[in-house]
Chains A and B, each alone.
Chain A
Amino acid sequence: MHLRKNIISTLVFLLALSIIISGAFYARITTAQTSFVGSLPPGYASYSGKLVMGKSCSCANTGISGAPALPPLCNTAVCFGSSFTRYGFVFTNVEGINSKACDQIRLSTSIPPCFQLDADDAIVISGSMASVQDLSYYGFTLYQSLVYNKNFPDNFASIKSSVGLNLNSANLKIGNNGKYILIFTASTRTLNVLKRGLQSIGVPRAIINHYPIPKTVANLGKIDYPDQLTIQLRLTSQSPEERQQVNTFAQEVAPNTNVIFIKGPKVDGDITFDDIPTWEDTLRSNPIEYQMGLDRQLALLERSVTNTYARQGYSLKARLTEKVLHVDTKECRESASIDCVYDSPDALYSSFPCDFSPSALRNGNCFIQLEQNSDDVLMLLGVDHTLVGDKTLAAYVSAESKKSAGSNDGTFSFMGLYTQGSAKQYWPRNKGDDLYAVKITRDCGDSPYCASVPFLGIPGARRGFFIVGRTYLDKVTASGPNPANLIPAVLLWFSKG
């Protein structure tokens, strides 16, 4: 009892201390920001913005057995993104910088706030990532939300395409207390002006980050319908402790994060798409999964799982191999009819194409149907890429189902953290520590590592969903993982009779 009291007192003390320290810290940032704005040369002007956080909600109805409960449902018409990721957005209501086009669209869809920039403008974000430094993943990404296209209503096509590579938990330069400065601009001149201004008030160069923007994207003064841009912050948590850290960030850190829009003296920018590295230029070769023989282990696990279900009277209805994809943002920009759905450059997305799909969804996703009271079983088998070798291959893996149009199925979502050890139940000799085996069915009963797919509609209504996987971040390259390094997962569909 006494020990418990001591622990509580210590925790209260530490909490109070951290609040005091962070209060002092933010006071310093605010002071620094004010003096920094005052040091800008003639021709530059500053306008205020802020970092707004989206609510903590889930796109999925259920998770995996044994894992903590998901946040409540988002209940938005379009629910994109992961159930484990909380989003933040840069926002301003300054006339001429804010986006009326996005505001109109936001009324009917879930498009986030946007803004528009000239090529020598900049956005400066100053804040702290101290409270979320140990998260599975965080990252800042710039997007083209809307781009000019005369064939679309209001002359804007919604492409939601990322621009360049993220600044994320692996490469964002932060100070000892998590403090960082992040500058978005298409102008080297503006960048240097801002750097000089920041350094003149004592901000160390080591925490100043630059997110380069191609000048063709910062085109406010150039065309009648300039690109409507969005800055998104992703904060991904796996455990309840991490989720609490994200909540703290949302409640205490985000409101104190300073966002300043800098208007330049109307001198053209100089950064182009050719100056910005692409994901494919960051790849590193690391065939450790193959060197460890995990492809053979996965094949043995597949055989073991198949035998297990054969003994229970099941037969294999389909076998699908995972196909991974890094989103081709150039395709979205050039076609204007393809929506990149706020892709992350740090992620590989995966799906399970099949030949029997009655619905040709993008990337050939399989349209899987489970009857309302079906005892069919889907088994998702794969390598947990986060556990292999030096554990730097990827930050996290996740899988979730998405609703097909008109379907009355619910959806599920789970993270790699809660699938660890799941292959052992099918593995007689206690191998397979690096593999996972997740069951997906209508009713899990007492099955461990199982995701139930709830039926939400009326009997006879349309069923169907498709499975999307994500593998985030090669920590060494600080970009999306290399697909060549990863052994593809397998989805087995078993049916009785």
Chain B
Amino acid sequence: MSKQFYWSVFFLALLLPFMLEVASSSSLATTDSNLNLPVCYMQTEDGKISDLGNLCQVPASNNINSTNRVAGVKRLLDTKECPGCNLSGANLANKVLTFVNLSNANLSGANLTGARLIGADLSNTNLTNANLKGAKLNGARMIGTNLIGTNLAGANLLGANLWNTDLAGANLNSTKMPDGTFHK
């Protein structure tokens, strides 16, 4: 019994790199360009995402988060809806995200440089340490948004609603403010 177990571990160790390669070569995602995080998952033909955390030997809890983030980014880009999603660290640079619903979402540390967030709902969204340099946030609803450490340099906030939002901790270098003036 124990002999069989050792043989199984041996073959698994040999085959594991090939299994991942096969998964990768058949367009099954093992990395994701939208995220700056290592991920380990595959997408089935019917669009479901399977967690391959055990094969990647990544702690399961972290991997589930990554999978959720990947699924969240996909959902956001497909439907423009992802309220309450965990998209921390996501790379959404230069994406067209007009009128998306990201209320109550976690976008801490996300890369949103140059993103078009016109009319987006960012109410109660966590944007701590997110990079929104040059982003277009015209008419965005940013009520109660957390902007501590957020880079809004060169961003356009014309008409944005910042009710109950504290801008004190944000980088506002050359930011176009809601009233159309430029922050110095």
Contacts and interface: CB of A to CB of B under 8 A. Distances in A.
Interface of A: 280-281, 283-285, 287, 290-291, 323-326, 328, 353, 364, 482-485
B53 interface: no
26 contacts: A280-B158, A280-B159, A283-B158, A284-B159, A284-B179, A285-B160, A285-B161, A285-B178, A290-B143, A290-B161, A290-B163, A291-B163, A323-B99, A323-B101, A325-B99, A326-B118, A328-B98, A364-B79, A364-B80, A364-B81, A482-B159, A483-B141, A484-B119, A484-B139, A484-B141, A485-B161
A364 B180 CA distance: 32
B136 interface: yes
A324 B99 contact: yes
B138 interface: yes
Contacts of B135: none
Nearest to B122: A484
Interface of B: 79-81, 98-99, 101, 118-119, 136, 138-143, 158-161, 163, 178-180
A328 B139 CA distance: 14
B95 to A, nearest CB: 14
Given A324-B119, A325-B119, A484 B161 contact: yes
B184 to A, nearest CB: 19
A484 B118 contact: no
Nearest to B137: A484
Contacts of A483: 99, 119, 139, 141
Q: Which of B81, B138, B140, B180 has the most CB of A within 10 A?
A: B138
Listed from nearest, the 8 A-B pairs whose CB atoms lie closest are A283-B159, A484-B161, A285-B178, A280-B138, A482-B159, A290-B163, A484-B141, A484-B139
Nearest to A485: B161
A285 B158 CA distance: 7
Contacts of B161: 285, 287, 290, 482, 484-485
Nearest to B156: A280
Nearest to B119: A483
Contacts of A291: 163
Most A Cβ at <10 Å: residue of B119, B139, B160, B179: B139
Contact of B158 (A281, A325, A353, A485): A281
A326 B81 CA distance: 16
Given A280-B136, A284-B159, 6 more contacts: A283-B138, A285-B158, A287-B163, A324-B119, A325-B119, A364-B79
A484 B140 contact: yes
A287 B161 CA distance: 7
Contacts of A328: 98
Contact of A281 (B138, B140, B141, B163): B138
Contacts of B138: 280-281, 283
A285 B98 contact: no
Nearest to A477: B159
A291 B161 CA distance: 11
Given A323-B99, A325-B99, A285 B159 contact: yes
A323 B161 CA distance: 16
Contacts of A284: 159, 179-180
Contacts of A485: 159, 161
Given A285-B160, A285-B179, A287-B161, A280 B79 contact: no
Given A280-B118, A280-B138, A324-B119, A484 B79 contact: no
Contacts of B160: 285, 484
